[in-house]
Structure 1
C-alpha cells in the first residue's frame, strides 16, 4: 500500500527499511517526545523487531514515511479494544532533518482520511506532551481539536509532564 504526499510517500514497511529506520530513529530529540517503547539509543535490532511486527498488518494501520528513497519517519494508528474499539490512537515521528517542512501535518491528514474511509471508526485520538508544542501544532493543522489537558500524568526521562489530548471526529 502506498499513499503519496507532496514531498513524501506513506507506505507499508519492508524488511529492507531497517537500516534507514535505525539511522533516523536514533535521536534523543525524537525519543523524548514518544512513549518509552520507542527506545534511545535506537539499535538496528529495535528497527528489525519493529518492522517484523508490522509486516502482516490487517488492516494496514502503520506506515513508513519515505522521503528521497529512505524511511525517515513513521505514522500509525493503535487500534484499541473495549469501549475504545472505534477510537484508535494516532502516533507519529519524523527525522529531525525533515522537521518544519510541512510534512507531518500532511501525513497526519492523509492517514486520518485513509482511516475514516477504510476503518469502522468514529474518532481518532492523539496525545502530545506539554513540552512538545510543535506536535500540538501539527495536530491542529491537520484538523484535530484539543479536548483537554491531563496535568502531570506522564513521566519521561524522570520528568513529569502534562498530556494534551486531541481528537478528530468522523464528519
Structure 2
C-alpha cells in the first residue's frame, strides 16, 4: 500500500484521534499512550510534535491517501547517549500487515542517519509483540537482548526486547 511520511499538520487530529483510540494499539505501547484515547489527546500530541521538531526529536505522520493513519518518531538521547536515539511507532489497525510500518521504519532511519549525528537507533518492543519485532527485523534491526520483567503494563509483568540499527 502506498503511504508517505510527512510533517504533522493540526488538521491530522481528527483522523489520529480515531485511529489511536484502539485497545490493541495501546496494549503494546507505554502508558503515555492510553486507552481509551481521551478527547483532545491527538491535537495535543500533534502540537507537541510540531513545536519540538528537530529539538530532540523527529516525528512524522504516516499518511495514506492524504490521511494520517499512524505515527513514527525518533527521540534523541542526551549526555553519554547523545549518539543514540529511540524509535517509536504505531499504525491504525486497518493498515496492519501491509508492509507499511517496515518500510516507514527504513525510511525514517535513513532520514535520521543522513541528517543528524546519530550512530545508533534502538527500539524496545514488548517481547510478546511479534508483529513489532518482525517490523524491526525486516527493517534491518538486530536483536541485542531480552530484558526480563522490564515492563509492567495493565497489571502484568512482561519482558521487552532491545533491537538496534547502527549507522555502519
Indicate the TM-score class for this superposition, using the shorter chain for normalisation: over 0.9
Which residue in 1 is equivalent to 2:25? 30
Contact 1:12–1:63 (CA<8 Å) still a contact in 2?
Answer: yes
Range 51-60 or range 156-165, more displaced: 51-60
What is the number of equivalent residue pairs in this alignment? 166
How many Å apart are 1:44 and its aligned residue? 3.1
Contact 1:19–1:44 (CA<8 Å) still a contact in 2?
Answer: no
Residue ranges of structure 2 left out of the alignment (5+ in a row):
none
Which residue in 2 is equivalent to 1:58? 54
Which residue in 1 is equivalent to 2:66? 69
TM-score, structure 1 length as denominator?
0.94
Which residue in 2 is equivalent to 1:3? none
Which whole-Å CA distance do the structure 2 matches of 1:38 and 1:104 have between them? 18
Contact 1:87–1:123 (CA<8 Å) still a contact in 2?
Answer: yes
How many Å apart are 1:50 and its aligned residue? 0.5
Which whole-Å CA distance do the structure 2 matches of 1:22 and 1:54 have between them? 15
Which whole-Å CA distance do the structure 1 matches of 2:127 and 2:54 have between them? 33
Partner SS, residue 61 of structure 1: strand
Which residue in 1 is equivalent to 2:42? 47
Which residue in 1 is equivalent to 2:142? 145
Contact 1:112–1:124 (CA<8 Å) still a contact in 2?
Answer: yes
Which residue in 2 is equivalent to 1:165? 162
Partner SS, residue 132 of structure 2: helix
TM-score, structure 2 length as denominator?
0.95
Partner SS, residue 55 of structure 1: helix
Partner SS, residue 44 of structure 1: coil
Which residue in 2 is equivalent to 1:118? 115
- Aligned ranges 1:82-101 → 2 under 5 Å: 82-101=79-98
Residue ranges of structure 1 left out of the alignment (5+ in a row):
1-5
How many Å apart are 1:58 and its aligned residue? 2.3
How many Å apart are 1:113 and its aligned residue? 0.3
Which whole-Å CA distance do the structure 2 matches of 1:68 and 1:95 have between them? 14
Contact 1:18–1:44 (CA<8 Å) still a contact in 2?
Answer: no
